[in-house]
Amino acid sequence: MNTEKKRGIVLMNLGSPDSTEVKDVRRYLMQFLMDERVIDKPYLLRLPLVGGIIVPFRAPKSAEAYKEIWTKEGSPLIVLTRQLQEELQKYVSEPVEIAMRYGNPTVEHAFDSLMEKVKGLEEVIAVPLYPHYAMSSYETAVEHAKVIHRKKKYPFKLDFIKPFYNEPGYIDAMAESMKPYMKEPFDHILFSYHGIPARHLVKADPTGSHTEDTRGECCQTPSPAREFCYRYQCFETTRLVTGKLGLPKEKYSISFQSRLGKGWLEPFTDIRLAQMPEEGIKRILILCPAFVSDCLETLEEIAMRGKETFMEAGGESYTFIPCINTSPLWTKTLSAWMNEYREGNKRMVLAEAHV
C-alpha cells in the first residue's frame, strides 16, 4: 500500500513588471510599495506617498532601468526562477511551480496549478528564495501565501522552508560561485546586501533587544533576536562564506544597497564604491548574497551603475559575481531539502511561531 503523501513545491521570489512599459512598471511598483511590510506607514499616509509621489517619480526611471537588463525571454528574475524550477524538477518527483510576491505568476496561480496536477493534493512546501529574514522580503512572502491559502480555502497543508543564511548547502553554493572570479588578482571583495530601514530590525525583534542603530553594534551581541535579525544574518553569511574560502578579514567588507530614504542600514554600497579607490582599493569583486536570482538590483544597480561609480572614482578593475541562480550545487541543495521534507525531517521547515 502506497502511503506517500501527495505533495507539491512552490518556489517563491520577489517579482517583476510584466514588461518595461511605464504602465506595467507603475502597476508593479504600486503593488510592491503599498505592501505594509515594505513601507510601514499607516495606509492613509502610505497611499498618497506611494501613489502620489514615489511611483509617479520612479516608474519612468525604473522602466528605463528594466530596459537595460530585459532579455528576449523577459525579466531576468522571472526567467532565472523558471530555469531553477526546471532544474529542480529533474531531481524531485513532486511537481514544482513558481510564484511571485508581486506581479505574475501569482501565488494563487501556483496553488491552482498544483491542484490540477496532483489530484487529492495534501501538502505544499513553499520555498521563499530569500536567504535572510526580513519583514520586507521573507516575512511578507510567507504571510501573503498564508492569506491566499486561508482565503481560498485550499485543502492542503502549507509549510515553508525557513531562512537559510547559515545552511551549509547555501554557503557551499555561494563559495563555489565565487571561486572562478578569484583566480585573477584583486584587492577586495564587497558583499553588497539589500538594505532595509533599521526600524524594521526593531519591529521584527520579539525580544526588544534591537535599537535603530544603522551601523549594527547591537547585532554583534549574542541574542535570541538573531533568528529574526536581517543584519546579523548578513554578517553570518559573510563570515561563513569567507571562512569557507579562507579570506582574511582585511580582504572583504559588507555594505547595503538600494536605500529609499533615511535611517537605512549602513554603510551604503554606492558610497563605499566611491570611497574605495581613494583608500587604495583599485580592484574589487562584488556580489549580492541577499539575492538568489539576478534581477534589477544586481544587474543594473550593481553590475552597471556600481561599476560606473567605482571606475569614475579611480578604480581599475570591477568584477561583478552573479547570483547562484541555477548553479548545480544550489539546485542539489534545494533538492536535498525537499528530500528531507519528504522523509519527514522538518529541520528546514519554518515553525509557525517564527512569523
pLDDT at 1: 42
Quick one: average pLDDT of 212-236?
80
Predicted confidence (pLDDT) at residue 281 exceeds the cutoff of 50:
yes
Q: How confident is the model at residue 355 (pLDDT cuts 50, 70, 90)?
A: very low
pLDDT at 204: 84
Query: Which residues have a Cβ under 8 Å from the Cβ of 180 and sit 6 or more positions away?
Result: none
Q: How confident is the model at residue 223 (pLDDT cuts 50, 70, 90)?
A: confident
Question: Any idea where the domains of the chain sit in the sequence?
Answer: 7-164+328-354, 168-320
How long a stretch of residues is the chain? 355
- Closest of 315, 194, 323, 210 to residue 260, by C-alpha: 194
Distance CA 128, CA 323 (A): 16
- Closest of 80, 155, 149 to residue 110, by C-alpha: 149
Residue-wise pLDDT tens digits, 69-117: 999 999 999 999 999 999 999 999 999 999 999 999 999 999 999 999 9
Please name the fold of domain 168-320: Rossmann fold (3.40.50)
7-164+328-354 and 168-320: identical CATH topology: yes
Quick one: average pLDDT of 161-174?
98
Predicted confidence (pLDDT) at residue 183 exceeds the cutoff of 50:
yes
pLDDT at 2: 52
* CA dihedral over 64, 69, 74, 75, signed as positive or negative: negative
The mean pLDDT of the chain is 95
Q: 340: alpha, beta or left, given left = phi > 0 and alpha = psi -120 to 50?
A: alpha
Q: Grid coordinates in use for 178?
A: 565565487
Q: Grid coordinates in use for 107?
A: 501565488
Please compute, for residue 98, the number of CA atoms within 13 A of its CA located in the half-sphere on the CB side.
Answer: 24
Quick one: average pLDDT of 225-241?
94
Predicted confidence (pLDDT) at residue 309 exceeds the cutoff of 50:
yes
Predicted confidence (pLDDT) at residue 221 exceeds the cutoff of 60:
yes
Question: Does the domain spanning 7-164+328-354 belong to CATH 2.40.70.10?
Answer: no
pLDDT at 129: 99
Residue-wise pLDDT tens digits, 22-65: 999 999 999 999 999 999 999 999 999 999 999 999 999 999 99
Environment class of 76 (CB within 10 Å of its CB; exposed 0-12, middle 13-18, buried 19+): buried
Predicted confidence (pLDDT) at residue 353 exceeds the cutoff of 60:
no
Distance CA 38, CA 20 (A): 22
For residues 209 and 221, the answer to whether their CB atoms sit within 8 Å is yes
> Percentage of the chain with pLDDT > 90?
88
Cis peptide before 267 (omega within 30 of 0): yes
pLDDT at 330: 99
pLDDT at 218: 63
